[in-house]
Structure 1
Amino acid sequence: MKLNTTKIFKLRNVAIAGLFLFTTSSCLNDLDVKVNDDELYTSEQFYANPASYKQFLAKIYAGLAVTGQKSANGESDLGAEDDGGPNEGFSQYLRGYWQLQELTTDEAIIAWGENDNPTIKDLNFNSWNADNVFNEAFFARIFFQISLVNEYLRETTDEKLVSRGVSEDLKAQIKTYRAEVRFLRALSYYHAIDIYGKMPFATENDPLLTKPVMQPRDFMFNYVISELNAIEGELPAPRMNEYGRADKAAVWMLKAKLYLNGRVYTGTDKSTEALAEVEKVIGSTYKIAQIPYANLFKADNQINGAQEEIIFPIAFDGVKTRTFGGTTFLVHANCTNEVGVTLGVDYGWQGYRVRQEFIQSAGNTDPRIMKVAGNTDPASISDYLKFDQGTKLTKFSNKTSTGANGSDANFVDADFPLFRMADAYLMYAELAVVNGKGSPATALNYINALRTRALAPTVQQSALTPDFILNERARELYWEGYRRQDLIRFGKYLSGYTWQWKGGSVNGGNLPDYRLLFPIPNKYRNLNPNLSQNPGY
């Protein structure tokens, strides 16, 4: 969904003061909806328009892609920096999630200094604290999304729909919309479970302006699973919703992710449950797209065949959903000006590249490791601020599968595949090889199906070891936001595997246990005394 099927309205002042996030300049007590610049509607006036329910739905989906009310940068959803809000560019959902999951591993290190990107080096060095501005921005974005969902659910109860005289046909559509936003809330809570462990918890049943209390990780795990079970029957069958919107397969994939990481999240192995959900995904109408691997990440990946594999994307459009995060960040930030032209953008930001240990683990010959042609930069990074150190790869592109440029030379069209079938294949293989669930022979077939698509040589059953599975996930899924989670699940994040600048020294070192989680930002703890800190911070 490129989010152009309905006009996205301005949601300026959602009632989330009780969620501790914002100052009064960005959070009042009403849902004020600005459809046109000169038209300010009250809540009931807005909902008098039957199209409003889908408009609000689109706004919540768009919250994964855009940051505010003006193109690229302006009128941030989270409030102006001068009023205590986070930097708008830093606060884009995908950019925030990606940086916390990738810059903290061997898959990426960024060459930017502290003047324009204060505290970015602490992600490179695994030395962040509770005042890290990138962590603050993502924390705020997660709970803004959750607040939007809670407000949507409050405004679409049966009682309110009856009071507004909503038609039976629209009520039936809204029932699906409600299931979709509950999926999006579950998705954000899953991200918070992975990154923060415990968290402030609120639903539509909590009165407005009530400051939420913290809930532990296992409580949140069980809550999200129960939510996904509750909505599964209310969502369309796989590939029967509009592209970019959630369906049953997205629910199965999210449950599989939770269960696969169940031992990390709850202390209890959930691999049997994970296998059941993965098999549902694999048995669905999604499939491994029989297109060149690189086309999965190009500007037309919503129509070039990749959509057959992408179970749930974050949709971007160079004209309609402009942002300095998302795939615009992912394309610009990993290239020079010269390479940027080959990727369909006007210039490069010379930011992130992989660390040498990633190349040593993933190998130099797999076609999925898309090296910049002719680049001879050394793999070792002795000075992380020098972009001309470190192996240069590409993945996301603003070129289409036919070689044309995207719709804009600055803002990128490529959608980000948050969930795709290749990951389901690799999850099955991991469950079979590492957890003893499923069939090793089937796992081999899935591994080789991906390698054949990528024009990589097939492997034999004897090759399938836990280390091979971890490295195969790196080859197939690098820069897709999984590396930190994978290393933690395989027991390689704190110790047992070291990369340059891990822990802040050029040769790397082990990390203390508390680095498995990020801190609850001090900024927001100061606004809500109910919030407690994670150990070590």
Structure 2
Amino acid sequence: MKKFIYIILAGFIISCTDLDLRPEFGETANIAFQDVKNLERYMAKIYAAYSLTGQQGPAGDADLALVNDEGFTSYIRAYWKAQELTTDEAVIAWQDAGIQDLNTHTWSSDNQFVNVLYYRLFLIISYSNDFLEQSSSDLLADYGYNDTEIATAQAYRSEVRFLRALAYWHALDLFRNVPIVTEITTDFPVQNTPEEVFNFIAEELSAIEGDLPDPQQNEYGRADKAALWMLQAKLYLNGEVYTGSNHYLEAVTALEKVLNGPYSIENDYQLNFRADNHTSNELIFTLPSDGIQTQSYGSTTFLINGAIGGNMTAADYGTSGAWAGLRTTENLVALFPDETGDIDSRARFFSDGQTLEIADLTVFTEGYAVPKYTNLTTDGEQGSNTEFADTDYPMFRLADAYLMYAEAVLRGGGGSEATAVTFINQLRERAYGDNSGNITAGALTLDFILDERARELYWEGHRRADLIRFGQYTGGTYTWPWKGNNIDGASISEHLEIFPIPATDLAANPELEQNDGY
């Protein structure tokens, strides 16, 4: 089988968007879960909730009835917008209510895209909590599972706890002051402190580490120990932002486990973003896409089609869609030695008919296009569908582990600076085709790491968190076009480092308080 296919829950219909409700079942749970396969299907729904939008692809019977366009409710589409449109790496041309606010840092607690982020995260958390409740030891005994089935169910539980921890990490990063809810309840959830959420995630990951399969030993697209180690590294590397206390030593410890694993840097950088990227040995954890089986207007379909317009030909990228939305700013282009990719092959810019400067955010031809993701295979063959991508979303990959390791070493987390330089030069030798781009230990600085992260990882959903961690997001020390709703860029308030709790949730739950500044 090429890749893990999300299974839509036959007979398991999601009733509403309330965070304290579980799915409605076509039959009672004690009957539905007598077959362990139904637990697998439920787990698949939780995986799918990160990419897909409902029970019927590409649209219809949506999980969330928050907005008119179901495609907006794809989690990774909303997450990508939050992490990229708010930075120097991407802008979008569309004029749907609230979307330009992300380009210009003028969002509010009524922003529909912020609301999608929040409610999708807590929907995933609610699914996870219900799954864990339905698969408790007592209930497994009631279902009449044999020892093999119980072991299988326990393994599923560990994966679901990982998925819940991933959702809580995103919630911590995006909203900071969120409630920890671990069971289905009608009680109003009370907000926890960032330290409490951080500790909860760390403890959850530590508790399940031994129960997850070894790296590359689970079905493709499902969590294993390496995915957990990458999540630990992400949590710990940003720990000082979240809690005021640094955890770089723990980050290095987690990363060393990844780096001693079976992964390797691919010779072809672009393989990580093609329709056959499931063959890349560099990818550690992905959100799988299949143009036939997992159709939605989110995930990489959005990233491919949304980046095509102007003089571009959609078929050159394996798709029939040209949504004319996503481009980049001159700041990202300036980080490369040239814009053509002739020197640093990671530069994937389309400039024909596009201006470098952006005078009007709503005009697609202003700002270079970025066809980094494609629905073509390495052999140039089109994916299985001309409208929906086969390209998997690369949430965690080895190149990021190399860069995180180098950063954590420089920040005092231990490890080896010489090893860090070696890792960075592996990435640059791939990019330059030889050692002409290699650096020495003296050039390995935090400023260099921030720029190199952009060159290697742009449009992969890391930039906002990176700029915040490096102190370059808010304030006016570093600016880019349209930062702070100014064509030349302007200082923005520190409160914009996190998003507001949706006004609808504040109205519904008297226990919640709005994040400062909103």
* Matching residue of 1:530: 511
Distance 1:5 1:136, change over 3 A: closer
Structure 1 segments unaligned to the other structure (5+ residues): 20-26, 34-39
Matching of residue 348 in structure 1 with residue 334 in structure 2: no
2:482 to 469, 486, 501: 501
Structure 2 segments unaligned to the other structure (5+ residues): none
Matching of residue 323 in structure 1 with residue 312 in structure 2: no
Q: CA deviation at 1:70?
A: 1.0
Q: CA deviation at 1:376?
A: 4.8
Q: How does 1:89-100 map to 2 (within 5 A)?
A: 89-100=71-82
Matching of residue 455 in structure 1 with residue 432 in structure 2: yes
Q: CA deviation at 1:42?
A: 2.8
1:168 to 147, 158, 163: 147
CA contact (8 A) 1:263 1:270 kept: yes
Q: CA deviation at 1:526?
A: 1.2
Matching of residue 294 in structure 1 with residue 270 in structure 2: yes
* Matching residue of 1:23: none
Q: CA deviation at 1:14?
A: 6.3
Q: CA deviation at 1:31?
A: 3.5
Matching of residue 486 in structure 1 with residue 472 in structure 2: no
Moved more, 43-52 or 444-453: 43-52
The amino acid across from 1:279 in the alignment is: E
The amino acid across from 2:120 in the alignment is: R
The amino acid across from 1:98 in the alignment is: W
* Matching residue of 2:24: 32
SS in 2 for 1:264: helix
CA contact (8 A) 2:251 2:413 kept: no
**Distance in 1 between the 2:412 and 2:503 partners?**
38
1:350-381: per-residue Cα shift (whole Å, max 9, x none)? 11111111212344242101122x62522111
Distance 1:120 1:76, change over 3 A: same
Distance 1:152 1:123, change over 3 A: same
**Distance in 2 between the 1:10 and 1:518 partners?**
36
**Distance in 2 between the 1:282 and 1:490 partners?**
24
CA contact (8 A) 1:78 1:86 kept: no
1:321-352: per-residue Cα shift (whole Å, max 9, x none)? 11111000000011117332111010311111
Q: TM-score, normalised by structure 1?
A: 0.91
The amino acid across from 2:318 in the alignment is: G
SS in 2 for 1:302: helix
**Distance in 2 between the 1:435 and 1:501 partners?**
35
* Matching residue of 2:502: 521
Q: How does 1:193-204 map to 2 (within 5 A)?
A: 193-204=172-183
Q: CA deviation at 1:8?
A: 4.0
1:186 to 165, 179, 200: 165
Q: How does 1:277-316 map to 2 (within 5 A)?
A: 277-290=254-267, 292-303=268-279, 306=280, 308-316=281-289
Matching of residue 257 in structure 1 with residue 234 in structure 2: yes
The amino acid across from 2:449 in the alignment is: I
**Distance in 2 between the 1:510 and 1:152 partners?**
45
Matching of residue 475 in structure 1 with residue 455 in structure 2: yes
1:472-497: per-residue Cα shift (whole Å, max 9, x none)? 10011000000000000011111311
* Matching residue of 2:55: 69
**Distance in 2 between the 1:256 and 1:89 partners?**
31
1:380-399: per-residue Cα shift (whole Å, max 9, x none)? 11111111111222111100
* Matching residue of 1:103: 85
**Distance in 1 between the 2:16 and 2:137 partners?**
21
SS in 2 for 1:397: coil
Distance 1:201 1:186, change over 3 A: same
* Matching residue of 2:195: 218
1:409-442: per-residue Cα shift (whole Å, max 9, x none)? 1110100110111100000111223446322211
1:158-184: per-residue Cα shift (whole Å, max 9, x none)? 100111101110110111100000000
Q: How does 1:110-121 map to 2 (within 5 A)?
A: 110-113=92-95, 117-121=96-100
1:226-247: per-residue Cα shift (whole Å, max 9, x none)? 0000000111111111111111
SS in 1 for 2:285: strand
Q: CA deviation at 1:283?
A: 0.8
The amino acid across from 2:511 in the alignment is: N
Distance 1:87 1:523, change over 3 A: farther
Q: TM-score, normalised by structure 2?
A: 0.94
Moved more, 46-55 or 476-485: 46-55
Distance 1:62 1:5, change over 3 A: closer
1:271 to 248, 252, 264: 248
Distance 1:393 1:15, change over 3 A: closer
The amino acid across from 1:294 in the alignment is: Q
SS in 1 for 2:179: strand
The amino acid across from 2:438 in the alignment is: T
CA contact (8 A) 1:316 1:415 kept: yes
The amino acid across from 2:347 in the alignment is: I
**Distance in 1 between the 2:352 and 2:441 partners?**
35
Moved more, 448-457 or 235-244: 448-457
SS in 2 for 1:51: helix
**Distance in 2 between the 1:254 and 1:195 partners?**
15
* Matching residue of 1:425: 402
* Matching residue of 2:352: 375
1:334 to 307, 313, 326: 307
